[in-house]
Structure 1
């Protein structure tokens, strides 16, 4: 696809409001009004990562149903812990998972991930908190035995075989960085034991020591593949294993997977997948540093996409801190964070996990939607649609497909009582599971059906799960991507606002000369004088086939036409430290930023006079990161208004941004010198900011 100037016109109008548009001028951000006109495509084709390339593997098609084993379904009344964190009945077991496989399959999933099922042997005299921790499985004692409270080895074997017979892959949870204090009492089948001097982890565990414990965990990782023919591992707190040891662990899993076979639902003889996905709850740079490794020395090939997940919940709902109603540009910048990943990376996108409140509870917390309201279901559908258009594996926490929430919970509960009541943010989503399609409400059944339609859409149209992505447009309300793979060319649109919106798109903007066919209902959108007109209701999405596709021409890295001093890179320093009376830095998650804690001189602002502060930074590589403009003691700390992302080459409003989740993001598309500028107003707590490339 060519990178030349594109004659593009995308117009967004509030439905029924056809007032005279306010035209955008180069280098100026126009507030969201009745009409927004764009004169150039905003993105470029992205085909570098493993799941948006022509050689993408079947792993990109994974649709994983994530099960909190002890909380899910009681299939055997004689099994179960009976106690644990969260509001579940805590009677979940392997038999319950096996009995739920048909429900899982018909919901649109093709894989399951079980939280740890290995034996957590009680220590004499352990307290009630250790009992609850045992139920999670995350501090195991015997890594080569199934916990009898979940079932037997035969129960586990039956589960895996029944899943494979239905075309479902099975992933176990690999906790290779820590274990229970009594784990060294349980040697491996070959006689290996674990270390005894690792750093304490909770009241009953300790951290693994590498390379001392490497061979032990290689044996764990390969034993279950050979014994039960599981398809791989979800890797808990993968950063606890030094990144230089992941290649050896990964190679062992791949070798073991090639050594055994099983029959799938089509009667074919196949090898286990050997998939490994890392949990590293951090920014894209840290995920790369501790999980993916480098292009030259690949470590892991897949990790959960926490940066995009955060943007999804903040845009369509809220994060647990209450940050919500972010613009569609927030999604675009989060997707741009992948510039930090190596080429082999295969990010895996999820909506919720067992460690956070459910999406429905987040909607209630932020006062966005009550359970049962149309807005509640619409926001779920919108978030699901964004996932469906994502190139890469997907993971859904059990029963998010029906939009459940933890009842009688919205706000955080004080730490002294929340764990006993089952209402701490990090485990409140662990409610009793449901796997009976006949027991759903009408709204729940409708959401499950919609999710299933989306997953079948991914099955039929590989451009969604394995296509190259061209970002066409985003503003406060509208997000548009084009997805391409082979002869398939698709368009994805979503309205991230509650307002109905009319969208007019020039065919040249999306590379289309004919009609667009809706992939969900078969209806057509016809072109008139090279313009397509679509109506999007609040939180509505569309998946459209481009029937007569042409090349999308993009124009990136345009030279800013701003003449304001904020865009200059050659202004001499003025005396003093300006009206703030202190040094300020670009503090953020960039490489060398120590996750917002560092204050390097290369990113320290210099006072230029006239209330203007600037620093010119040599960005040595394409990168993306989150940031704030802040002093050493975080007073003041500022970002783009509403914590919106930076639009390169544009002057944007700046305001105080205190606390987690209020930072802005920025994508640097190519190396070069960039000027970071802000002009403080009389309050000393707001003003305007600008970031652009020096010419």
Structure 2
């Protein structure tokens, strides 16, 4: 899609205040820092993921390689669009994906997701901008035919069959909430309703269109034995309709079979939602609740932002966050129901490539070793994530778009350099020509090294259930270092990553990680010995390590339980102060605006979140939270003329007075976790200049 409204601009990963658990306070600087870890810490009770009864382990272990078809590999000169958004050749086709299967398999990926390949029929007189939209595939005209500008039905069959023979699943891209308008009838004679206009197409209507889209979803499982669907803009379809479509896909998948790497299996029936919003919206618009599950998987956009904020910057240029930010990203999961299986990615066709984010943040360019090291560190975090993961083509070689970040107005003219499609650049697949008759791609030394590292990571992940479906105990995080223990039955792994430029020497108490034997490095010929109850590990800048805990203790990690009160003291913790009946020194109304339920991704200003002026420069609003939740927010006026957050966009610490400062623009919001249902008072005192002050969020007794 071209633009996702109210999406990335309103999302920052959750930042819940977690200081260092060690005796040192590391800082970001060159040189070597010393860190002492005496016990693990638990910010939230980590729920188990991948606990569904159907195809659980296979779905959790999905390592998906995403392909944007028109910008990928051109291997068929008869199947070309010749136009499109972004900087590619625009001639990619199905044959190009088939030609790349061995390369994709060599990366250790076991699933391919390709953007839509269904037929888009031009409307008489449409211009090049409409042709570009057709090339994306996201406004289809015939859901039951392959677009000849991508290839043929026979080529699609060959792609799926060859992928299956090589042990890889294939996921199609389902656009079940909107269409081009000139939609052909299904084999059963059904057509979707032409609802209200959406850009160059129309929205579908539910429940009127449910039978049509159930037919689409099941047709391709029967026709090609595909293994499921990525669901574009899934919030456009009601939860009850997703339940019906998912049930139909699971039923027909159970009735089909094929040979996967020589074994007879059923199509996986995996469905993953794209809901480019905060965790509460993802839960409410995709997952549903545990009593009535809708979808079982959705992309973990909040965690994605936490990752890029930490290892680079997000699209708006804000980042350089501490390693604690990675742990904080997991806090968003409190908003997900038990059946949720989040899918983590570093980027996709609508986001800016990680390499371009590094350059946008003036961090590193391809000529700098740090550029490649940061890629490795970020992808290592995906490797240690429980649940399916997705890698966008080119990330395995650190791809980027030359000159992109130097453009002051990247969306002007015909350059095709907008943020939401700059990543649609020509693929570079080792050993294959990008276009028919072109030169065979040969990777340079840095690209080849990163590719080999990614392949080693994926091989290790495939062999260790603790990585792809294990429970997580957070051991430690601070400015520089992040450490988790992952567990699945008798598979126990310690994951560490250094997110900064300073080498770190980490001394870890053995009982903090629940170990009384040696640690064996899973990616290097190294053993860390158990010496006098401690381990000493050195991590170079921007590096990660995975250790097998060879002798886990029965008690497991020694976890420190924080005894912090959620209820503050003083006037800002008073939940019963009456309104003064005036606007106060700001002279205007102000709200909590954010990604909470009903907040519409920062767009809404509901009365339930509107501050009252109490007097004495104090503003307050009492909010009822019916369930535990986590979200990002600002205190802001309707016009955004005044925006405030915790100073330095830090996280809220419940029951604690914190400094408040102006926070203009996206990427400067703070975050909060509400660990239990209840009533909470949000308070802030503005200073004499109206540009700062102090604030508190306190649970009402």
Structure 1 residue 358: Cα displacement: 0.9
- The Cα of 1:619 is off from its aligned counterpart by 3.1
| CA distance in structure 2 between the aligned counterparts of 1:561 and 1:208, rounded to whole angstroms | 45
Please state whether the residue corresponding to 2:326 is helix, strand or coil: helix
Matched residue, 1:256: 252
Instruction: State the alpha-carbon separation in 1 of the partners of residues 28 and 408 from structure 2.
Output: 42
Residue 210 of structure 2 is matched in structure 1 by 214
Going from structure 1 to structure 2, the CA distance change for 1:610 and 1:531 (only over 3 Å counts) comes to farther
Instruction: Confirm or deny that 1:114 pairs with 2:111.
Output: no
Alignment of 1:648-667 (within 5 A): 648-667=654-673
Q: Does 1:362 align with 2:357?
A: yes
Displacement, 1:268?
A: 1.1
Q: Could you give the per-residue CA deviations for residues 482-524 of structure 1, whole angstroms, max 9, x where no partner exists?
A: 2111122222222222222332332332222333222211422
Deviates more, 1:84-93 or 1:615-624: 615-624
Cα offset for 1:618?
Answer: 4.0
Per-residue deviation, residues 152-199 of structure 1 (Å, max 9, x unmatched): 11111111111001111001111111111211xx2111222232x311
Q: 1:630 to 1:491 in 2, by over 3 A?
A: same
Secondary structure in structure 2 of the residue aligned to 1:171? strand
Q: In structure 1, what is the equivalent of residue 135 of structure 2? A: 135
Question: Could you report, residue by residue, the CA deviation over 1:399-432 in whole angstroms, capped at 9, with x for unpaired residues?
Answer: 11111001121156647734x2221111111111
Q: Deviations over 1:274-307 (max 9, x none)?
A: 1111111101111111111111111111111111
Residue aligning to 2:650: 644
Q: Name the CA distance, whole Å, in 2 between partners of 1:503 and 1:472.
A: 12
Distance 1:608-1:479 versus aligned 2 partners, 3 A rule? farther
Post-superposition shift, 1:692?
4.6
| CA displacement at 1:598 relative to structure 2 | 3.9
1:229 alignment partner in structure 2:
225
Q: 2:570 aligns with which of 556, 565, 582?
A: 565
CA distance in 1, matches of 2:507, 2:143: 58
Shift of residue 372, structure 1, vs aligned partner: 2.4
Residue 461 of structure 2 is aligned to residue 464 of structure 1: no
Q: Secondary structure at the match of 2:349?
A: coil
Q: Secondary structure at the match of 1:50?
A: coil
Match of 1:509 among 512, 532, 537: 512
Go from structure 1 to structure 2 and tell me whether the alpha carbon gap of 1:254 and 1:561 turns closer, same or farther (over 3 Å shift).
Answer: closer
Distance in 2 (alpha carbons) for counterparts of 1:59 and 1:362: 30
Distance 2:287 2:503 in 1: 41
Cα contact 2:575–2:681 (8 A) shared by 1: no
1:442 and 2:445 matched: yes
CA distance in 1, matches of 2:639, 2:123: 45
Superposed displacement of residue 526, structure 1: 2.9
**Residue of structure 2 aligned with 1:388, choices 375, 383, 391:** 383
Residue 536 of structure 2 corresponds to 533
Q: Which moved more, 1:304-313 or 1:205-214?
A: 205-214
Shift of 1:57: 2.7
Give secondary structure in 1 for the equivalent of 2:70.
helix
Alpha-carbon distance change, 549 to 578 in structure 1, aligned in 2, over 3 angstroms:
farther
Question: Which of 588-597 and 558-567 deviates more?
Answer: 558-567
Q: Are positions 1:424 and 2:418 aligned together?
A: yes
CA distance in 1, matches of 2:54, 2:644: 42
Q: Which moved more, 1:285-294 or 1:570-579?
A: 570-579
Equivalent-residue separation in structure 1 for 2:239 and 2:52 (angstroms): 25
Q: Show the 5 A alignment for 1:275-314.
A: 275-314=270-309
Report Cα offsets for 1:241-263 as digits up to 9, x if no partner.
12220111111111111111111
More moved, 246-255 vs 469-478: 469-478
1:243 and 2:239 aligned: yes
Whether contact under 8 Å (1:328, 1:478) holds in the other structure is yes
CA contact (8 A) 1:43 1:473 kept: no
Q: Distance in 2 between matches of 1:17 and 1:216?
A: 60
Does the residue aligned with 2:133 lie in a helix, a strand or coil?
A: helix
Q: How many residue pairs were aligned?
A: 670
Tell me the secondary structure at the aligned position of residue 544 of structure 1.
strand
Query: 2:100 is matched with which residue?
Result: 100
Q: Distance in 2 between matches of 1:87 and 1:563?
A: 54
| Aligned position for 1:619 | 625
The unaligned stretches of length 5 or more in structure 1 are: 1-6, 20-32
Relative to structure 1, is the Cα distance of residues 192 and 207 closer, same or farther in structure 2, using a 3 angstrom cutoff?
same
Per the alignment, residue 339 of structure 1 pairs with: 334
Q: Which residue of 2 aligns with 1:518?
A: 521
Q: In structure 2, the residue corresponding to 1:439 is in which secondary structure?
A: coil
Q: Is 1:683 equivalent to 2:686 in the alignment?
A: no
1:165 aligns with: 165
Cα deviation for residue 138 of structure 1 reads: 1.0
| Cross-structure match for 1:189 | 187
Q: Structure 2 length as normaliser, TM-score?
A: 0.89
Cα distance 1:411–1:64, how it changes in 2: closer, same or farther (>3 A)? same
- Separation of aligned partners in 2, 1:412 and 1:15: 30
Q: CA deviation at 1:140?
A: 1.2
Q: CA deviation at 1:139?
A: 1.2
How far apart are the structure 2 equivalents of 1:362 and 1:355? 13
TM-score (norm 1): 0.90
Partner SS, residue 347 of structure 1: strand
Cα distance change on mapping 1:246 and 1:527 into 2, 3 Å: same
Q: What is the alpha-carbon root mean square deviation over aligned residues? A: 2.9
1:198 alignment partner in structure 2: 195
CA distances 1:31-56 after superposition (whole Å, capped 9, x unpaired): xx987888772434413433699994
Partner in structure 1 of residue 91 of structure 2:
91
How far, CA to CA, are the matches of 2:542 and 2:407 in structure 1?
Answer: 27
| CA distance, structure 2, for counterparts of residue 108 and residue 222 of structure 1 | 29
Distance change (3 Å), C-alpha of 1:343 and 1:15? closer
Deviates more, 1:44-53 or 1:103-112: 44-53
Partners in 2 of 1:132 and 1:564 — Cα distance? 59
d(CA) in 2 for partners of 1:315, 1:80: 39
SS of match in other structure, 1:367: coil
Q: Distance in 1 between matches of 2:60 and 2:558?
A: 27
For 1:75, the equivalent position in structure 2 comes to 75
Cα deviation 1:356-386 (Å, max 9, x = unaligned): 2211111111211112211111111111011
Q: Is 1:585 matched with 2:591?
A: yes
The answer for unaligned runs of 5 or more in structure 2 is 1-19, 432-440
CA distance in 2, matches of 1:563, 1:306: 32
| Residues 190-212 of structure 1: CA deviation (Å, up to 9, x unaligned) | 222232x3111223x21111222
**SS of the counterpart of 1:667?**
strand
Cα distance in 2 between the residues matched to 1:431 and 1:168: 24
Moved more, 587-596 or 278-287: 587-596
Give the match for residue 27 of structure 1. none
Query: Is 1:328 aligned with 2:333?
Result: no
Contact conserved, 2:343 with 2:388, CA < 8 A, in 1? Answer: yes
Provide closer, same or farther for how the CA distance between residues 673 and 481 of structure 1 changes in structure 2, counting only shifts above 3 A: farther
1:77–1:475 distance in 2 versus 1, CA, 3 Å = same
